[in-house]
Amino acid sequence: MSRIRDDITRLTACLTTPSEHVRDRPELVTLLLGHLPIRAGLWRLPAARLLLPDASRIVVAREDEQELVVECIGDGFDPVATNLIPVCCACVMVPPSGASPELVADLDADRLAIITGGDQAAVVAAYALIKGLSVPLEVPIELIIVGQEEAEAAATAERLADAVIRHLGRVVDYRGVISAIGADTGLTQSRMLPRPMDGLLTIAREARGGVSPDHQPDSEARHRVVNAAGQDSSLPEHVSPEFEADSIAVPMRDSERVVLEPLPVASQVQIPPVTAPINPETQVQGSPLETMDRDKPFRGVEGSRESQQAMSLCDHLPGLSVLGFRCPDHDSAEFALDETGALHLVVSASDSGGIPAIIGWTLRHWSLLGEVISGLPGQSVEPVVHVLSQDAQFLIGLRDTPWQTHLLVPVTQAGPQGLACVPLSRQEASEQGR
């Protein structure tokens, strides 16, 4: 009997190979967006930082129409990495609004969080959202309230948690309140990929599989990465035939992990300024409108109207003089000065989601801006934000923000592209009426 046991021990030793590296499995959190005070999903980044306060690197993944957007808070991406999730990071997945309970369950997250407003309608919707979940009871459900003061939010969370445990038998852990969106969201990089067939399940599978520290990335397989300086990494010169189809299968094994096809370079199009980003390639040769690198000095700031593109957002706002620099990663947002020397930020509706990041970038580089912009105050202040759109419903959704909204109405014989700019903010409307 002892001999058989010894044979089994020797056989086990021969078949067992100790691993030199322990695979890192990122913490996986699913963030569900409830009824929020304002639209455009501006709350996801501060919510991710609140949920993971001790993480040095957080990846926030979401779906945007036909793209998979991967945003990084903290340390940036490796520009040549073939994996979607950086090593040793926490991952927050944000399913689209109205996602099915089956999709939420299939993401198989370690934690599940709900971010919602504190009004009665939002609380009722959050209760219905929790009731419809099909995740196991052992998965913690966490709650974040936005748009309220701390004491009021705590009372709202307590009422919701009591109702959930009494009627649904689930425990809701209140994580805190986000009263307002700060200027610095912590966003350092974003990666835009063609949406695979499985969407966020691709991120979930890679996170559950872990990332091997000894993985050697293929130098020819690069994603389209937008770094803090606004420069794209190199794109692959050749795409394998298996990635030419619209459907991209993502296997479970790491040895068969696929590299998603990078986005094609956008061609130059001429569309109204409310939706058209400013393409640096279309600018006049030698124009001072150059993207400003964080680590490089300005090459030019104040440019004449003739040297800029014919379509400018600032053309719709009288009294503003457009400046010749841009924020990295947000080339379509325009900076301008008014007659008093105050700094203004003018964006279209499609870029309103990046306003907090642009404001944070402006405040971090205020001293550098002061050296090249005459009359700028010595102490940093947030620029006056203007949001222009032809969608009245979208602008109504921004009524609780400090931003000044402007409705562009198509008319005959009016401003640029035949659009008349109508201010919707009371302060702006009263100033133009004087």
Tell me: do 66 and 202 sit in the same domain.
yes
Q: What percent of the chain has pLDDT over 70?
A: 62
Q: How many domains does the chain have?
A: 2
Q: Is the pLDDT of residue 419 over 60?
A: yes
Is 313 part of any domain? yes
The answer for residues whose C-beta is within 8 angstroms of residue 194's C-beta and 6 or more apart is: 66, 67, 68, 248, 260, 261, 262, 263
End-of-domain residue from the set 236, 265, 294: 265
Range among 140-149, 288-297, 301-310, 421-430 with highest mean pLDDT value: 140-149
Q: How many CB atoms lie within 10 A of CB 382?
A: 13
Q: In which band, very low, low, confident or very high, does the pLDDT at 143 lie, cut at 50, 70 and 90? A: very high
Is 25 part of any domain? yes
Tell me: do 411 and 336 sit in the same domain.
yes
Tell me: do 103 and 239 sit in the same domain.
yes
Q: Is the pLDDT of residue 288 over 50?
A: no
Tell me: do 87 and 230 sit in the same domain.
yes
The reported pLDDT for the residue numbered 395 is 83
The answer for residues whose C-beta is within 8 angstroms of residue 369's C-beta and 6 or more apart is: 343, 362, 376
Tell me: do 336 and 400 sit in the same domain.
yes
The reported pLDDT for the residue numbered 311 is 63
Q: What percent of the chain has pLDDT over 90?
A: 13
Range among 5-19, 30-44, 56-70 with highest mean pLDDT value: 56-70
Q: Which of 209, 250, 242 is nearest to 108 (CA)?
A: 209
Is 273 part of any domain? no
Give the whole-angstrom CA distance, residue 398 versus residue 277: 21
Is 346 part of any domain? yes
Tell me: do 134 and 204 sit in the same domain.
yes
pLDDT digits 0-9 by tens, 73-102: 876 655 444 455 655 678 899 998 888 889
The reported pLDDT for the residue numbered 232 is 43
Mean pLDDT of the chain: 70
Tell me: do 124 and 242 sit in the same domain.
yes
The reported pLDDT for the residue numbered 171 is 92
Global pTM value: 0.47
Place of tokens 């979930």: 204
Q: Which residue has the higher pLDDT, 391 or 170?
A: 170
Q: In which band, very low, low, confident or very high, does the pLDDT at 42 lie, cut at 50, 70 and 90? A: confident
Is 251 part of any domain? yes
Tell me: do 195 and 327 sit in the same domain.
no
Give the whole-angstrom CA distance, residue 235 versus residue 229: 17
Q: Which domain holds residue 348?
A: 280-433
pLDDT digits 0-9 by tens, 3-35: 666 667 766 666 655 554 444 567 889 999 888
Tell me: do 99 and 189 sit in the same domain.
yes
Tell me: do 259 and 295 sit in the same domain.
no
Q: Which residue has the higher pLDDT, 143 or 332?
A: 143
The reported pLDDT for the residue numbered 151 is 92
Tell me: do 324 and 353 sit in the same domain.
yes
Q: Which residue has the higher pLDDT, 221 or 127?
A: 127
The reported pLDDT for the residue numbered 159 is 92
The reported pLDDT for the residue numbered 238 is 39
The answer for residues whose C-beta is within 8 angstroms of residue 297's C-beta and 6 or more apart is: 368
Is 378 part of any domain? yes
pLDDT digits 0-9 by tens, 204-263: 887 776 544 344 333 333 334 444 334 444 333 333 333 333 333 334 444 434 444 444
Is 404 part of any domain? yes
Q: Which residue has the higher pLDDT, 206 or 291?
A: 206
Write phi, then psi, for 337 (nearest 5 degrees).
-115, 145
Q: In which band, very low, low, confident or very high, does the pLDDT at 283 lie, cut at 50, 70 and 90? A: very low
Q: Is the pLDDT of residue 69 over 80?
A: yes
Q: Is the pLDDT of residue 418 over 60?
A: yes
Q: How many CB atoms lie within 10 A of CB 106?
A: 16
Strand positions, DSSP E, 183-328? 187-194, 225-226, 290-291, 321-322, 325-326
The reported pLDDT for the residue numbered 257 is 43
End-of-domain residue from the set 265, 290, 314: 265
Tell me: do 34 and 103 sit in the same domain.
yes
Q: For position 211, which CATH number holds?
A: 3.40.50
Is 15 part of any domain? no
